[in-house]
Amino acid sequence: MRGGATPPPIHIHPHQEERITVVSGSGTLEKWLPLTVCFSHGDTVVSPPGEPHTVGPAGDEDVEMLAELRPALAYEQFVERSFALDRAGLVNAKGRGNPLRMPPRDRTRRNSSCHGSQSGLQRALLRTLDRLGRRLPGPRG
């Protein structure tokens, strides 16, 4: 993640454990308590299924992290899509892409959700955003 980037919203992986290991730089793990944990090179933090969390850089320096989601479900496609958008120059200076350009969610299982959202409303909104995003030019996952 680019230094100074805004972390993704606090979210939940209902069926997946997320394990983050810092390769270089320093990062933060925020949990819904609220609790913020700083971690650096070689450290690993784990969020079990169903635990609200987010990760981001600890400051203005880039942080390289290895993220593992178990089981993987559609995470590989999400990461590939994110990097394709970056290579195409379709992210802002903080590394954020237009949410309409993100990959469609796995239709068979919910991979993640924003903490505190109404799941039915959230699913309807994501389906609508996915349909709109399919109409945008550029790489599509």
Q: What is the DSSP letter of 100?
A: G
- What is the C-alpha to C-alpha distance for residues 97 and 87, in angstroms, rounded to an integer? 11
pLDDT at 5: 87
pLDDT digits (tens, 9 = 90+) for 47-97: 999 999 999 999 999 999 999 999 999 888 878 887 888 888 887 776 677
The residue with tokens 């079990």 is 48
Pick the closest to residue 1 from 60, 46, 42 (CA basis).
60
pTM value?
Answer: 0.66
**Does pLDDT of 35 surpass 60?**
yes
pLDDT of residue 49: 95
pLDDT of residue 107: 41
pLDDT: which is higher, 137 or 10:
10
Instruction: Encode pLDDT of 84-137 as tens digits.
Output: 888 888 877 766 777 666 655 444 344 555 555 546 676 676 677 667 766 776
Of 36, 122, 32, 112, nearest in space to 73 by CA: 112
What is the structure's pLDDT at 113?
55
The pLDDT of residue 106 is 45
pLDDT at 86: 80
Peptide bond into 7 cis (omega under 30): no
Which domains, and CATH codes, for the chain? 11-133 (2.60.120)
